[in-house]
A = this chain, B = another copy of it.
Amino acid sequence: MRIAFIGLGIMGSRMAANIQKSHPDLVVYNRSVSKAQELVRKGARLASSPAQAVEGAEVVFTMLSTPAAVREAALGSVEAGGKGARGEEGAQGFLPRMKPNALWVDCSTVNPAFSRQMAAAARERGLRFIDAPVAGSKLPAERGELLFLAGGEAHDLAAVRPILEQMGKKILHLGAAGSGTAMKMVVNLMLGQAMAAFSEAVAFAESLGLERSAVLDTLLGGATAAPFLQAKRSKIESGSYDTEFPLRWMLKDLDLAAQEAAASGAVLLAGSATREAFALALKAGLGDEDFSAIYRLYREGER
């Protein structure tokens, strides 16, 4: 099976490396070439554009940072030859270059309305589409222990499952195209809310005169803290927020959630307060730190 992988960031490079174990000659593309070196050293072929990458591929993976980035890779940019006001097909879009009936698996974290648009754009061209964003960060990506949240046709998911299993330990099928993206958005909403609420609670406890270490012991040892928070403890205690998931991206995900809630009429009381907390943290210059640096919003400054 011929495979293309577009987007070799923190996550994508590790995911591609796991695919490479069974498909050493997969084709890869990344805007910055340096990220591809290790993969190429092991036999991957480097494409010079998304459009070139997908030539002849049966399966195309994308792992990009925003809906706009995915759209540009798939449909091309206005500047590059689009003909309308809204970024219709440009010269470098990969979608028109895909082999008939090939399968596009978008692992990017986007919003469900966007995934459904991409699914329609694929279908229109006789292509198949699955949205399969992942839960898990750098380390699980490296170890092939991601969780895939997939939307699309069951038989398309079945076809690609063996490859997904090289990257993840669990693959959930949530429904039609867009469902994987929807679930991912909800998972990240939970993630952001839990991180902000925990930071707030710890800083509040400190303002009441409690020792931070006792507070962390109590909360992390109890049933009210989400399990992932354990891994953030050392960041909070050291004050060094090595980036696993940038705060800036968390804000982006919360903004996507707000956008979908606008469409579905959902109420996001704590969710929107959490969005504001991250927006304030971004203003405070914490955008490129790990999203757990939201703790600093609550702690810094003095009365």
Enumerate chain A interface residues (CB-CB to B < 8 A). Answer: 84-86, 88-89, 112, 117-118, 120-121, 124, 135, 147, 149, 172, 174-175, 179, 182-183, 185-187, 189-191, 193-194, 196-198, 200-201, 203-205, 207-211, 214-215, 217-219, 222-228, 252, 255, 257-262, 264-277, 279-280, 282-285, 287, 297-298, 300-303
Contacts and interface: CB of A to CB of B under 8 A. Distances in A.
A200 B88 contact: no
The main secondary structure of chain A at its interface with chain B is: helix
A254 B268 CA distance: 13
A186 B204 contact: yes
A204 B271 contact: yes
A260 B208 contact: yes
A95 to B, nearest CB: 9
Interface centre among A85, A218, A298 (most CB of B within 10 A): A85
26 contacts: A85-B120, A86-B121, A112-B208, A172-B218, A185-B208, A187-B222, A190-B198, A190-B224, A194-B224, A194-B226, A196-B269, A204-B257, A204-B268, A207-B264, A207-B266, A223-B228, A224-B228, A258-B258, A267-B276, A267-B280, A268-B279, A269-B276, A272-B273, A272-B276, A282-B303, A283-B301
Contacts of A258: 255, 258-259, 262, 272
Kindly report how many copies of this chain are found in the complex they form together: 4
Given A85-B118, A124-B85, A302-B285, A197 B190 contact: yes
Top 10 nearest A-B pairs (CB, nearest first) are A255-B262, A85-B121, A283-B301, A273-B273, A207-B264, A272-B272, A223-B228, A190-B224, A193-B197, A207-B266
A121 B190 contact: no
A302 B259 CA distance: 19
Contacts of A198: 190
Contacts of A303: 265, 282-283, 287
A40 B161 CA distance: 63
A303 B271 CA distance: 20
Given A85-B124, A194-B224, 12 more contacts: A84-B88, A84-B124, A112-B208, A174-B214, A186-B210, A187-B222, A196-B270, A204-B264, A225-B226, A252-B262, A283-B301, A285-B301
Contacts of A194: 194, 197, 224, 226
Given A267-B203, A272-B275, A175 B228 contact: no
A273 B269 contact: yes
A207 B186 CA distance: 11
A172 B262 CA distance: 30
Nearest to A279: B267
Given A88-B86, A194-B194, A210-B174, A300 B274 contact: no
Nearest to A117: B85
A217 B147 CA distance: 13
